[in-house]
Amino acid sequence: MKRYKLLVIGGSAGSLQVILSLLATTGGDFPVPVLVVLHRNGVFESSLEELLSVRTGLTIKEVEEKDILNPGIVYICPADYHVLLEHDHSFSLDYSERVHFSRPSIDVTFRSASDVYGRGLIGLVLSGGNADGADGLAYIRNRGGVAIVQDPLTADVPYMPQQAISRMQPDFIIPAEELSIFIRGLVQQ
């Protein structure tokens, strides 16, 4: 049995390029299901899925409520909803208060995914100008999951990875350009 069931990625300003290069594939599915929590700013509302799909060659899907997590798919949180995971591996949407001025919030999804997947979860915090993700990443690590932070020195906006590092002790701090190889190595071991 493979240990890792899900990779959750939290990104804000300056993270899109990192996500694109991380997911870019040479054919075949990404070796673990992926859920991307991206703070959207309205600019790429409708074209985000298409952009990711074209640039990564992967199956990209915006989360719909009650969808069952499916291997081989990269899920994207819809704008203006928090995304939660249920014990039956389905998604729930939530329109409650913003967290760190954000909806979707990285903390909210990280915690919920950790409740379901525990040590089978990998959390990754990328570039951004917001403190979202730090608490959630600590939560993932406390429950036995793996906590990875993009090296702030390689981030367009280093504040978010810095916040994560200052709040908790990540398992790994990895430069942007090495994230793809590192994570593939981790899930395929």
Partner 1 sequence: METNPVQYEELELLLSDLYKRYGYDFSEYSKASIQRRVQRLFTLDKFPSFAEFRFRLQNDSMYFRRFVEEITVNVTEMLRDPSFYRTLRTTILPVLATYPFIRIWHAGCSTGEEVYSMAILLKEAGLLHKSLLYGTDINPLVIEKARKGIFPVSQMQKYSENYIQSGGVKDFSSYYTANYHLAKFDSALTGKMIFSTHNLVSDFSFNEFQLILCRNVLIYFERDLQSKVFKLFDYSLENFGYLALGSKESLRFSPIADRYRQVGREKIWRKVHEAI
Binding positions for partner 1, rule: CB under 8 A? 64-66, 78, 81, 84-87, 92-97, 108, 111-112, 115-116, 138-139, 142-143, 168
- C-alpha distances in angstroms, 141 versus 90, 136, 152? 22, 9, 19
The type of residue at 12 is S
Reported as half-sphere exposure (CB side, CA atoms, 13 A), residue 114 has a value of 24
Q: 89 catalytic, yes or no?
A: no
Closest CB 84 distance from partner 1, rounded Å: 4
Closest CB 46 distance from partner 1, rounded Å: 12
Q: 132 catalytic, yes or no?
A: yes
Residue 84 or 179 having the CB closest to partner 1 = 84
Residue 26 or 68 having the CB closest to partner 1 = 68
Q: 67 catalytic, yes or no?
A: no
**Class of residue 47 by CB neighbours under 10 A (exposed 0-12, middle 13-18, buried 19+):** exposed
Residues facing residue 150 across a β-bridge:
174
Selected catalytic residue, list 102, 107, 127, 132: 132
Q: Which of 70, 118, 75, 66 minimizes the C-alpha distance to 93? A: 66
62/169 Cα distance (integer angstroms): 31
Residue 44 or 182 having the CB closest to partner 1 = 44
β-pairing, 73-76 vs 82-85, is unpaired
Closest CB 130 distance from partner 1, rounded Å: 20
Closest CB 52 distance from partner 1, rounded Å: 19
Closest CB 136 distance from partner 1, rounded Å: 11
3-state secondary structure labels for all residues of 86-113:
CCCCEEEEECCCCECCECCCHHHHHHHH
Residue 2 or 66 having the CB closest to partner 1 = 66
Residue 28 or 43 having the CB closest to partner 1 = 43
Selected catalytic residue, list 15, 39, 100, 107: 39
Query: Which amino acids are annotated catalytic?
Result: 12, 39, 132
